[in-house]
């Protein structure tokens, strides 16, 4: 009985600890990447391609939020922590808006369950 309880507690901690406000995007055969990740793959997929600009233009987000999302994903000031802070500050409607815009650009969405 104690073992089952311990396993349940560990599982809940892992599930809650894995929660992230940002989500993973992927396109076609390209492997998914989390927004805000400073990887070359994320930069190439979203920034070098110009897709993040198209996605942001398709949203109803404020210009300030769009500028910050672009800056913290694609500029020399890239910061995963800042991207997370932006997503935490978004309303559920804003998060839905950006997810929908990614889907309209042909991206698949995964994660971001918080």
Burial of 102 (0-12, 13-18, 19+ CB in 10 A): buried
Calpha distance 27→19 (Å, rounded): 22
pLDDT at 93: 95
pLDDT tens digits, 31-77: 787 777 778 888 988 999 999 999 999 999 999 999 999 999 999 98
Q: Where are the domains of the chain?
A: 22-108
- Nearest residue to 104 via CA among 25, 22, 23: 25
pLDDT tens digits, 19-38: 556 678 888 776 787 777 77
Going from the C-alpha of 102 to that of each of 26, 60, 90, 109, the distances in angstroms are 9, 13, 16, 8
| pTM for the full predicted model | 0.74
């Amino acid at each position: 009985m104690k073992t089952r309880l311990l396993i349940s507690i560990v599982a809940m901690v892992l599930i809650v600890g894995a929660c992230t406000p940002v989500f993973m995007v992927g396109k076609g055969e390209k492997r998914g990447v989390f927004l805000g990740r400073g990887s070359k793959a994320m930069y190439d997929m979203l920034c070098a391609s110009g897709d993040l600009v198209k996605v942001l233009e398709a949203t109803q987000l404020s210009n300030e939020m769009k500028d910050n999302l672009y800056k913290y994903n694609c500029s020399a000031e890239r910061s995963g922590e800042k991207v997370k802070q932006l997503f935490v500050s978004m309303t559920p409607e804003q998060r839905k808006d950006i997810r929908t815009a990614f889907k309209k650009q042909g991206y698949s969405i995964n994660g971001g369950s918080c």
